[in-house]
Structure 1
Amino acid sequence: MDFSLPPHIDALRLEVRDFINSEVIPLESDRSNFDAHENLQEDVLAAVRDKARAKGLWCFQMPQARGGRDVGVMGMAALYEEAGRSPFGPVVFNAAAPDDGTMILLEKILTEPQKERWLQPLVDGRVRSAFAMTEPDGGCGSDPSLTYTRAEKQGDKWVINGRKWFITGAEGAQHFVLVARTSDDDRKGLTAFLFDADQPGWEIVRRIGIMGPEEHGGHCELRFDGLEIPDENRLLNVGDGLKVTQIRLGTARLTHCMRWLGLARRSMEIAAEYVERRMSFGSTLAEHEGVQWMLGDVAKDIQIGRLLVMHAAWKLDQGDFARSDISMAKIHVADTLHKAVDTAIQLCGARGYSKDTMLEWIYRYARQARLVDGASEVHKMVLSRSYLAEKNSFFRWGL
């Protein structure tokens, strides 16, 4: 594969970088711009989103006919990475989780009338979404077969009862994708549905407090008590819940990695600026060999992550599922993000540990990277199974 970007994608990448530098990063230094959950206030976010959309920097993952830029997954890798240099960049461009994964899923599987109802409001930025799969008390997380929230068919509707938790963005979301059990079949027992926040029969039990700063809408626990969903809002066929989940999570896992690479780069930018001017024993920190080893080691790992992500993106653009490639990228980039920000804090000393920079924000956020969309250990298990099944064929070139 050719790692050079097409000229129009590279030009767009530089536009994204300039916008992050001029419009988004300056917002970080004023804590009055933050809400109680350490994200941008809604009015501040709305204003900067308007600016981004006016410049055409909007929904890189969506077709142009819907108001996006349709840059392909490789283009997304380059643009999301630049957007991710600020924690608030992706949501400014309407390219943040969970909405970007929901949009990609719905664009692939809905009919045109359904897209107008459920997808277009997301693309336009008028509503937000959430993906409700994980459950408490022994329910599904990385193992969807443990799903116990049930959907029972009654006439032309489905009645939902059960619970979900750690549902990102649920508070304030309007459109939900819900995975529920419709039979006890091991492979075809789950079905996915769409529902609207205004429908009765469900509630947010609580917004779960977490260690790190939160996305808009937090991570919530939900209770379903007789939620009725028309059969027309079922996604694909009955029993295709796992298929829907894999369609959504495949690209979504990789877009996490794209954004995390941006945060890793930003962490090192902050560190590099500091060590180049901070004096220690007669020379700058950057002139100390030990500091150079630390910077060089992280730069290496970031570049490895970029290559893993771009290779997986290339395979997705070719129509491949790229499951092993995405798992490798997810494991490596999650580790690299933590390593990058931890190194940056160490190099910046007390300043890095303080709130004078975004490093402590990124550090707390980074810990979730090894958990979300499949814990690193689960992805290693997936890789092991693939290797044992393929042996030397696992290490192939191309698709």
Structure 2
Amino acid sequence: MTDVQHNPLLRLLNRTSLVSQIIIGLIAGIALAFFLPNLALKVALLGDVFVSALKAVAPVLVFILVAASIANHQQGQQTHIRPILLLYLLGTFTAAIIAVIASFAFPSSLTLVSNSAELSPPGGISEVLTTLLMNIVDNPVNALLKGNFIGILAWAIGLGFAFRHAAPGSKQVLSDLSNAVTAIVKMVIRLAPLGIFGLVAATLAQSGMSALLDYLHLLTVLVGCMLFVALVVNPVIVFWKIRRNPYPLVFTCLRESGITAFFTRSSAANIPVNLQLCQRLGLHEETYSVSIPLGATINMAGAAITITVLTLAAVHTLNIAVDLPTAILLSLLASISACGASGVAGGSLLLIPLACSLFGIPNDVAMQVVAVGFIIGIVQDSAETALNSSTDALFTAAACIGQARKAG
């Protein structure tokens, strides 16, 4: 405490909010990439260490936190998982519908590239769902090592219920473990400004923006849909749930969750950030300890938009006629596929061939669309993750506040 009082730098850090520090790191990273690109490449290590630390701590945090929350759950305490699941599914399907409307209103054409990514897309929706099911019954050690959050959740829930019949001392050990891992997470999150600085500087120095100019229209449609969902659709859904001005909560989640998710480009890495946000918002720990990792797996509005927009861009490029029922079917397929995106290597982009097959587009052409997705991935993936992750915290908070309003 004495060191903090006498050190002007530490005093300044304590007085400056974490979000403000992240914004400073963002501006500094952009400036470094612009003026000293060679040096910017060397600070990439800061970003890599930050993202790796978040990814490393997230599986352990989720496993311990969920197990401890269920084990110490008091009889009569309410959790709000069911309404949160409804919000997740509603938000994802609505996002796909918005993407269809935007794609019809502002059709995009692609210059299909010749060398597609050497990746294997899933053969059908059944393969996506099978992968999801196999992730649930994964070996717990393997699930922790590979960051398989569906498997981690399944084992944590099972262990938590088993520990409800354990001695009070055993339950206390779980609680102490939860507190210890949470303390480590807080230390990692304090490194966010340096991490964001490294990520931004290295990314801009490596890629620049020239590669994105050819796909500016497509990017505008993609990011425009995501902004519309974040600033119009989500607030409407939240208002329906809490019956008051939703924007303070929406902007809080975008500011404190969306910014870090945008630059880490990993829903898994942003789980600790969302758990911290829910704690600060005073939500039920028994609820958010399950809903946040679950949301990182199935709440995929951004992925649904990506799949829909890029598929319809391919459809428009190939002059394939699309009627309304087929467009609605695409929205449903994109929503279901997006929920299983985390169980497929390559995420949402590799589910585009699955959606393209609905229109009879050959797989080799569809994989060229995937390659276009990787070209614009610097912006697409960042915006997609920011929408997905901030919505996890937003819908969790909305459900908890809505249930409290009904109870009151």
User: TM-score scaled by structure 1?
Assistant: 0.32
User: TM-score scaled by structure 2?
Assistant: 0.31
Select the structure with the greater relative contact order (CA < 8 A; seq sep ≥ 6): 2
**Larger relative strand fraction:** 1
**Larger relative helix fraction:** 2
